[in-house]
Copies of this chain bind each other. A is one copy, B any other.
């Protein structure tokens, strides 16, 4: 095989597919990036058997062929090459010469035959989102996905298509994050659970440009993301997702309208007094025109008042600062509404149209003041 392409093109491609190279594996071939120039196109491919990425790069194919190169060494090499044309040439014994300017590297590659290509997917249901929308919806929900592999379903996010609405849900045992996105077209109903890891990697690869689209196709076992010159295929998580709708309610006895930035900064300050691993809750006391936030720990105490508009009853409720911070950070609105029932019931941060719903479970408080 012999191909020639610019360093920047190659680097961009290598950076994309590297996201699917496993950090630890017993199969040495999976630690490689496959360069497939066996047809008229140059493709770079990596696959950790859960997540596979293929991207096409511009370049000249001088001699057709295939070679697999150690991903870590190859990608660091490309990164450090001078900004010129790169030639990659391999012979029948997989000896590979990478030359660029006056620099010449020799590496031993592996045959492509052992490599796991991306599975062929029969695409039935496909939706279209802008790269911006996909990147945003991942950012706005992914933090609440559970890490614990004991409950595999929690480590994924629900992608549910209902007509022209895409609903994305992430949850762990303490909170639920929901985003409803209106799409340009209506599609057949479909529900899948996408691994959190896949979504994390996708959001690093896509540009976030509102003018560029991603085509997302789902089958019973796979989800496929197609954008620019890249295809990402991921296995889905098997099983039924939690019945989230049953956990939601629009009833409330207290509604608080508050400035998001003020609340976020105040809660952020309170975390100073919470030692790591300590589950000390912050206390929110809703009064007529203000809410007082306070915390009392072994380190010290803090209290701060923020002006609010209130509807309904006074309430004193405790919560884990981190869960509030995570949710507030991804809400773009300046003013938000918090809905509460009682100190034991979940509280909801949501807008009127339910484009976002953040459910946070309260923490029981024992105050001595």
Q: Which residues of A are in contact with B by a Cβ distance under 8 Å?
A: 73, 76-77, 80-82, 101-108, 265-266, 268-269, 272-273, 299-306
A-B pairs, 5 with minimum CB distance: A107-B300, A103-B304, A106-B301, A80-B269, A105-B302
Residues of B within 8 A of A105 (CB): 269, 272-273, 300-302
A to B CB contacts below 8 Å, 20 in the list: A73-B272, A73-B299, A73-B300, A76-B272, A77-B269, A80-B265, A80-B269, A80-B272, A82-B265, A102-B304, A102-B305, A103-B266, A103-B303, A104-B302, A104-B303, A105-B269, A105-B272, A105-B300, A106-B302, A108-B300
Alpha-carbon distance A305/B102, docked complex (angstroms) = 6
Alpha-carbon distance A255/B342, docked complex (angstroms) = 82
**Residue among A77, A105, A266 having the largest count of chain B Cβ atoms under 10 Å:** A105
When the two chains form their complex, are residues B104 and A304 in contact, meaning their CB atoms are under 8 A apart? yes
Alpha-carbon distance A354/B106, docked complex (angstroms) = 39
Q: What residue in chain B is nearest A306 (Cβ atoms)?
A: B102
Q: What residue in chain B is nearest A292 (Cβ atoms)?
A: B102
Residues of B within 8 A of A82 (CB): 265
A80-B268, A80-B269, A107-B299 known; 15 new pairs, CB 8 Å cut-off, are A73-B272, A76-B272, A77-B269, A77-B272, A101-B304, A102-B304, A102-B305, A103-B269, A104-B302, A104-B303, A105-B269, A105-B273, A106-B300, A106-B301, A107-B300
Shortest CB distance A93–B (Å): 14
Alpha-carbon distance A102/B108, docked complex (angstroms) = 65
Shortest CB distance A209–B (Å): 32
Shortest CB distance A346–B (Å): 27
When the two chains form their complex, are residues B269 and A81 in contact, meaning their CB atoms are under 8 A apart? yes
Residues of B within 8 A of A265 (CB): 80, 82
Residues of B within 8 A of A266 (CB): 103
Shortest CB distance A96–B (Å): 8
Residues of B within 8 A of A102 (CB): 304-306
Q: What residue in chain B is nearest A106 (Cβ atoms)?
A: B301
Residues of B within 8 A of A299 (CB): 73, 107
Residues of B within 8 A of A77 (CB): 269, 272
Alpha-carbon distance A76/B271, docked complex (angstroms) = 10
Alpha-carbon distance A116/B360, docked complex (angstroms) = 47
Alpha-carbon distance A301/B96, docked complex (angstroms) = 10
Alpha-carbon distance A102/B105, docked complex (angstroms) = 63
Q: What residue in chain B is nearest A307 (Cβ atoms)?
A: B102
Residues of B within 8 A of A106 (CB): 300-302
Residues of B within 8 A of A76 (CB): 272
Among B103, B269, B273, B305, the residue within 8 A (CB) of A302 is: B103
Q: What residue in chain B is nearest A96 (Cβ atoms)?
A: B300
Q: What residue in chain B is nearest A82 (Cβ atoms)?
A: B265
Shortest CB distance A159–B (Å): 36
Shortest CB distance A285–B (Å): 14
Residues of B within 8 A of A269 (CB): 77, 80-81, 103, 105
Residues of B within 8 A of A304 (CB): 101-104
Residues of B within 8 A of A306 (CB): 102
Alpha-carbon distance A77/B273, docked complex (angstroms) = 9
Q: What residue in chain B is nearest A266 (Cβ atoms)?
A: B103
Residues of B within 8 A of A305 (CB): 102
Alpha-carbon distance A107/B295, docked complex (angstroms) = 12
Alpha-carbon distance A301/B306, docked complex (angstroms) = 64
